[in-house]
Chain A
Amino acid sequence: MTRLLEVVDLEVGFRTGNGVVKALNGVSFTIDRGESVAIVGESGSGKSTTAAAIINLLPGGGEILGGKVLFEGKDLAKASTAELEEVRGKRIGFVPQDPMSNLDPVWSVGFQVRETVRANGLATDRAGAKAKSIEVLQQAGLPGAEQRFHQYPHQFSGGMRQRVLIGMGLAANPSLLIADEPTSALDVTVQRRILDHLDSLTENSGTALMFITHDLGLAAERASKLIVMYKGRIVEAGPSLEILRNPRHPYTQRLIAAAPSLASRRIQASGAGEVAPVASGEQQAALEVEQLDLASAAEHRLQHEDARREAGDAIVVDELTKVFKIRQGGFRSTEFTAVDKVSFSIPKGTTTALVGESGSGKSTVAKLLLGLETPTSGAITIDGRRTDALTGRARFELRRRMQPVFQDPYGSLDPLMSIGSIIAEPLTVHGVGDRASRRQRVLELLDQVALPRVLAGRYPNELSGGQRQRIAIARALALKPEIVVLDEAVSALDVLVQAQILSLLAELQEELGLTYLFITHDLAVVRVIADNVCVMQKGRIVEQAATDEVFDNPREQYTRDLLEAIPGASLLAS
């Protein structure tokens, strides 16, 4: 019997202004009927290109240069358009990444499901098509499918849209479902529910699943087989647990060491004892060069915690409230409480994480602290001084002591300024030093964030996301602040780079005695960086405690949900 999918030496290239750039360099793997396989890799690894190449839907300029995609024995790389249309939807379903952009905004959801149903011959007449479409939506777990049939995508939440897309992908009972990061754009708790549902659907119908993700923990949890990709090649492949426990390729080892979800699980599993290393013996040597094992980095933090801790609180937030007026058109407006009586304090030299899903108000807290928004009520005390009592000059001076690093590495640096002037801007604005001393400080800061000094004369778009984030950190440190507000500062980065920035932040904290407010949606990252955690939901802090306590004995159901949503629970605990 032929295998369901056999990819043989697949090569894909993209035509650009300077010739063809290869995205896949001889990728080979197989998927059997009913099997679940995850492809893991960072951005640029070729994992999404592999998915797109199988159904021959490469983005503009992309081309299959060589190799075979044997699906049920037939080579899709050489199939005609008509043959491909026959396979797509009917034999191979596809669930895309971003639910916001993958439904046509001008047609109702029902229309889009119905056209899928009809194109795949699941119903011939109008009434039948509608009935089948409603059934598809119901199966996908969309409540009120019949009533919502005529609604448009913008009237659905992200999670609901993703259910619609999953429904369409599985409508024709395909033998293979390709899911390309199907939940990366969603909140963690929603993510988990949707993946569970997807699992049960594919299991029931015996559909094979090809799951593309950047999260190794998630991949291992959801698939029995793992394929790790790096720069257009497969570096390691095999049974999920085997790879997690016994990674052989240095790249896989690094990936496991750097994945926050796995690191957080490893810390959890180790209890009070020593964290088990990812790899042993000589393989460990390769890792230590980069020192990127997040779990041991976290352990290191804990050991030095006492040394860092000074007396007093750097930040005290008391009953902080922010109410926004939302205009409803005309003269009507409703009030929306983004931050609701939030109180917490951050001891000097420590890290407090503010965790919550989108809309929880965590970023508004950051903006209030940084003075980018004015509080409706409540008080912020920084270094013993209430900020609302401060006027012009004193407020300006206070800004020197607290600096932000934002999420988007592509938006946080003025693209028209040289990196030298970006880092020096805080100094010029606050009139610190003369030209020469500022230049000296810029070079110093570049050293501190481990970037070469030549960058001072360069521009931001010559750098990668991680490097830009380092520049943003250097800028934040220029005025030697005591407090740094990190607003999702590592969320947009690939795992390895993320780990690298996290360890840089830890080093800087140790060296400079910094106090961090770390805002994130990712509870896994919190485990490795924070001393204390505040969990936010709908503008309120629902749980607040030391990190270990929150992880070991969560009191609130919401916190437990968030913790359970960290993938990899079943993998390393044993």
Chain B
Amino acid sequence: MLYYLVRRILQAIPVLIGTTFLIYFMVFAMPGNPILGLFGDRAPNPALLERLEEQYQFNQPFIVQYLNYLGNVLQGNFGLSFSGQSVNEILARTFPVTLQLAAIAIVIEIVVALALGLISGLRPGGIVDYFSLGFSLLLISMPIFVLCFIAQFFFAVQLGWFSPTVGANTSIGNMLLPGIVLALFVIATPIRLARTSVMETSRSDFVRTAYSKGLSRRRVVPVHILRNSLIPVTTQFGSDFGLLIVGATVTEGIFNVPGVGNTLYQAIIRGERPTVVSFVTVMVLIYLIVNIVIDLLYAALDPRIRYAK
């Protein structure tokens, strides 16, 4: 297990170097003064310009610039935003909000996806199966912003069940609608996958053997079928986490949730490139960390991984 953990973290290192290099390359390997380029057609604030120059050290060769930047990222120093604020300060303020939103979305996602996947996998061709198939296909086809507007329009504006925007009040009740929307955005794949793996596990030899031992359905379904189906669903969750990040960015923006995603959203909309770059880097780091955690969870779920050397 320890061996697996160490190996997994070692594997993440080249990926971390690669991703940060790619981002850095995409932004700063462009012709012209990269700092002016960051500001596009706007006139930069001279004081900020100076501090940015200090931060990025553009007089150095490219590789030194990159290593500086990587060093900063590894120390948890993500630099400055467009307005000159430290990205770390913004993170400290916004991250808990995003965590709360993500938690709501993930809990809904897991519970609903497993429930629908389990029922439709146990009874393929049944009503629930057809409903969840149609439901998930429709959801896959909806871009996140359309989903947000539909929810905002019907549930907040028309029905008045929720407030259309969250603003400063980040209570659970207020965060519920964006949380549900975000969950719906990412839920289709886990539903389909849970269904497939429940179906396949139900047909597996060991499930039949479990019944032949005299076990009841009430025991076989959770202990053998569901437990085994969790493994592929968990793995997929890691690869799909990118979708959750993009979804959170747009959802927070549209519902005005004061989180990390909203900061990125506003920066994109306003074309504040230094902020965009810093926050995309933050998101990629989160993605990498979450994937390591998922892999550990996967090892915890699957003894074949846990006890493999």
**Cβ of A88 and Cβ of B211 under 8 Å apart?**
yes
**Cβ of A59 and Cβ of B208 under 8 Å apart?**
yes
**Contacting residues, chain B, for A55 (C-beta < 8 A):** 212
- B273-307 toward A: CB 8 Å interface, digit per residue (1/0)? 00000000000000000000000000001111001
Interface stretch of the complex, out of A102-110, A198-206, A348-356: A102-110
**Cβ of A103 and Cβ of B209 under 8 Å apart?**
yes
Question: A106 and B209 in contact (CB under 8 A), knowing A59-B203, A85-B215, A155-B307?
Answer: no
**Contacting residues, chain A, for B207 (C-beta < 8 A):** 104
**Cβ of B219 and Cβ of A119 under 8 Å apart?**
yes
Counting CB contacts under 8 A, is A101 at the interface? yes
**Contacting residues, chain A, for B208 (C-beta < 8 A):** 52, 57, 59, 96, 102
The majority secondary structure among interface residues of chain A is: loop
Q: Give the complex CA separation of A165 and B211 in angstroms.
A: 13
Within the complex, what minimum Cβ distance (angstroms) separates B246 from chain A? 32
**Cβ of A106 and Cβ of B213 under 8 Å apart?**
no
**Cβ of A88 and Cβ of B206 under 8 Å apart?**
no
**Cβ of A105 and Cβ of B228 under 8 Å apart?**
yes
Counting CB contacts under 8 A, is A242 at the interface? no
What residue of chain A has the Cβ atom nearest to residue B7's Cβ? A329
- Which residues of B from 195 to 223 have beta carbons under 8 Å from A? 203-217, 219, 223
Q: Give the complex CA separation of A152 and B305 in angstroms.
A: 11
Within the complex, what minimum Cβ distance (angstroms) separates B136 from chain A? 23
Counting CB contacts under 8 A, is B161 at the interface? no
Q: Give the complex CA separation of A284 and B220 in angstroms.
A: 52
Counting CB contacts under 8 A, is A168 at the interface? yes
**Cβ of A106 and Cβ of B302 under 8 Å apart?**
yes
Q: Give the complex CA separation of A155 and B309 in angstroms.
A: 12
Counting CB contacts under 8 A, is A80 at the interface? no
Q: Give the complex CA separation of A330 and B10 in angstroms.
A: 10
**Contacting residues, chain B, for A154 (C-beta < 8 A):** 303-304, 307
**Contacting residues, chain A, for B309 (C-beta < 8 A):** 328-329
**Cβ of B213 and Cβ of A119 under 8 Å apart?**
yes
Counting CB contacts under 8 A, is A60 at the interface? yes
Q: How many residues of B contact A (CB 8 A)?
A: 29
Counting CB contacts under 8 A, is B227 at the interface? yes
**Cβ of A106 and Cβ of B212 under 8 Å apart?**
no
**Cβ of A152 and Cβ of B304 under 8 Å apart?**
yes
**Contacting residues, chain A, for B215 (C-beta < 8 A):** 85, 89, 115-116, 119
Within the complex, what minimum Cβ distance (angstroms) separates B21 from chain A? 25
Q: Give the complex CA separation of A105 and B208 in angstroms.
A: 14
Question: A90 and B214 in contact (CB under 8 A), knowing A96-B208, A102-B205, A103-B206?
Answer: yes
What residue of chain A has the Cβ atom nearest to residue B203's Cβ? A60
**Contacting residues, chain B, for A97 (C-beta < 8 A):** 205
- Which residues of B from 33 to 92 have beta carbons under 8 Å from A? none
- Which residues of A from 153 to 191 have beta carbons under 8 Å from B? 154-155, 165, 168-169, 171-172
Identify which of A88, A104, A328, A329 contacts B212 (C-beta below 8 A). Answer: A88
**Cβ of A102 and Cβ of B213 under 8 Å apart?**
no
**Contacting residues, chain A, for B302 (C-beta < 8 A):** 105-106
**Cβ of B206 and Cβ of A102 under 8 Å apart?**
yes
**Cβ of A119 and Cβ of B216 under 8 Å apart?**
yes
What residue of chain B has the Cβ atom nearest to residue A88's Cβ? B214
What residue of chain B has the Cβ atom nearest to residue A332's Cβ? B309
**Cβ of B228 and Cβ of A104 under 8 Å apart?**
yes
**Cβ of B224 and Cβ of A85 under 8 Å apart?**
no
Identify which of A108, A120, A152 contacts B214 (C-beta below 8 A). Answer: A120
**Contacting residues, chain A, for B219 (C-beta < 8 A):** 115, 119
Which has the most chain A C-beta neighbours within 10 Å: B204, B205, B224? B205
For this complex, 21 residue pairs linking A to B, each with C-beta atoms less than 8 Å apart, are A57-B211, A57-B212, A89-B215, A96-B208, A101-B205, A102-B205, A102-B206, A102-B209, A103-B206, A104-B224, A105-B302, A106-B301, A115-B219, A152-B303, A154-B303, A155-B307, A168-B209, A171-B213, A172-B214, A329-B7, A329-B309
Top 6 closest pairs, chain A to chain B, by CB: A89-B214, A94-B212, A101-B205, A152-B303, A88-B214, A116-B213
